[in-house]
Structure 1
């Protein structure tokens, strides 16, 4: 059941192709293209090396503006660019919940776990307007289909009751993405996303509220956030938030993301450009031995800090209530 993009008709050079199939709405500096999804479930390529096989995403494009996002490439197929357009022009699949219900009910569907939000954060600001996620969560829950919501946004807390109820019918989890806890790096690479501390507070709130939440440690940046100190700090903070698991994902640089990330690297760390060219010269992924070494280090740290055990081995250094007053 491969993902079927919108039909892309040849159009004039000055007009994005997506505008020929979508209802366009403007919200401040954001352009939303409302479309009817023809297919809801997308097969995730094995080359992506993610712990999921299938995905469904209500949004394509993301206001978080993460410079490394692999979803950037998809904007090119819509007649948009993978840079600023990805951050400011978002495709909204307004009928995704209905399409999802039909596909989940198909005899061809085998009930495999589904990840929500790979081509754009499910809880980016556009979700405050469209409110697509509650229906999507209910569709998966009613089908008894396991799923994981991927996000960097505190808006997921709005739907914590829906997620908790879904957990009574199927395996419903959340995964908050925190690749590193250095706020200076975050501001440069994830300009529209909440800070790492706020995301970890979201993880803690979900776990305390009965919604299992892990930390997707993505991305780990070679030569920037892969030091022992960086890895230890991130895993320790995940443990303090009560994360049920931590999954390391080393930076990938497919076309679209590669250009946007390398422009940032040249500005902020010009001395690393040749080393990144060597690391990623032949593939969007870092060498297998490097990735295996990172995974082994994170596994040892997760065991040390007790991640995944029934009881926390570490306390949070501050309460979410106290920190929220500072955000």
Structure 2
């Protein structure tokens, strides 16, 4: 059903495996929305739209699929969950504009809190502040994505997303509200946002915002994302296409040498500014009673 420009789809299952190589720590995720109005060219979730009969390019940006029954399904699935930490908002930002209309996240947070399941919310949106009290009481982590602070790059590769300064202010506000907040420095774009001065400027401003932990992730190009991103790269920076072909394998992962060099530089910068660097340890809480494994 289409309502207000959004496409409603009843979900049969809402706890889903995070695609291999996504770059985040959690193996399982729940996403109230598929697709994302932030329209980030390098979003690794684009391929999921193909499974819905939509394209991974403009449809992903504009045809946002809403799961109105996400809270009810989540409660049912959590009743037999094993206590492993979940990511929230992997298939589309869970606090994008659709959330203003549907208000699904308070129910999602409440269900996770009641089940005592640890979780991390991934977002770029200041709307998350609406639920700061709920998130703090639930002991949630919030990972705010800030890949770079160059607005010229942001306007081209993240045209629908808030600017870097707005996201830095969001980090400060979450910290002040008592929410455990980390910065997902992702995705670092090869040959576009990976120069030493660009990385240094980004880490410096993240530290000034009050973040204590940075989690760097180099751009992934899985099927769906790769075609959309490389098509744009060929128009905007044709001289870089061959170098990208050399950097990335068939699965869309960057070379280990390149990724290690970039994450190493970021780790060194984090030490300079007194921050931790790297993915968090995934939390698992024992369920209250014996439960069935999720099939």
TM-score, L = length of structure 2: 0.91
Deviation per residue, 1:81-128 (Å, 9 max, x gap): 11111111111111111111111121xx22111111110000110100
SS of 1:149's partner is strand
The reply to whether residue 62 of structure 1 matches residue 40 of structure 2 is no
Q: Which residue of structure 2 lines up, in the alignment, with residue 138 of structure 1?
A: 110
Question: In structure 2, how many angstroms separate the alpha carbons of the residues matched to 1:218 and 1:166?
Answer: 25
Q: Which residue of structure 1 lines up, in the alignment, with residue 87 of structure 2?
A: 115
Q: 1:267 Cα deviation (Å)? A: 2.5
Correspondences of 1:118-197 after superposition (within 5 Å): 118-167=90-139, 172-197=140-165
Question: In structure 2, how many angstroms separate the alpha carbons of the residues matched to 1:243 and 1:71?
Answer: 26
Greater RCO, CA 8 A, separation 6+: 2
Question: In structure 1, how many angstroms separate the alpha carbons of the residues matched to 2:219 and 2:155?
Answer: 17
Structure 1: tracts of 5 or more residues without a match: 1-22, 310-327
Question: In structure 1, how many angstroms separate the alpha carbons of the residues matched to 2:7 and 2:38?
Answer: 17
Contact persistence 1:218–1:249 (CA under 8 A) = yes
Q: Which residue of structure 1 lines up, in the alignment, with residue 184 of structure 2?
A: 216
Question: In structure 2, how many angstroms separate the alpha carbons of the residues matched to 1:179 and 1:72?
Answer: 18
Would you say how many aligned residue pairs link Structure 1 and Structure 2?
277
Deviation per residue, 1:28-55 (Å, 9 max, x gap): xxx3121221112111133223211111
Structure 2: tracts of 5 or more residues without a match: 278-295
SS of 1:50's partner is coil
Give the structure with higher Rg (CA).
Answer: 1
Question: In structure 2, how many angstroms separate the alpha carbons of the residues matched to 1:162 and 1:140?
Answer: 11
Contact persistence 1:181–1:196 (CA under 8 A) = yes
Question: In structure 2, how many angstroms separate the alpha carbons of the residues matched to 1:154 and 1:47?
Answer: 27
Question: In structure 1, how many angstroms separate the alpha carbons of the residues matched to 2:272 and 2:212?
Answer: 14
Q: Which residue of structure 1 lines up, in the alignment, with residue 236 of structure 2?
A: 268
Contact persistence 1:243–1:308 (CA under 8 A) = no
Question: In structure 2, how many angstroms separate the alpha carbons of the residues matched to 1:157 and 1:95?
Answer: 23
Q: 1:281 Cα deviation (Å)? A: 5.0
Moved over 3 A (4+): none
Contact persistence 2:249–2:255 (CA under 8 A) = no
Contact persistence 1:212–1:244 (CA under 8 A) = no
Q: Which residue of structure 1 lines up, in the alignment, with residue 79 of structure 2?
A: 105
Q: Which residue of structure 1 lines up, in the alignment, with residue 2 of structure 2?
A: 24
Contact persistence 2:22–2:44 (CA under 8 A) = no
Contact persistence 1:242–1:307 (CA under 8 A) = no
Q: 1:282 Cα deviation (Å)? A: 3.5
TM-score, L = length of structure 1: 0.82
Q: Which residue of structure 2 lines up, in the alignment, with residue 277 of structure 1?
A: 245
SS of 2:40's partner is coil
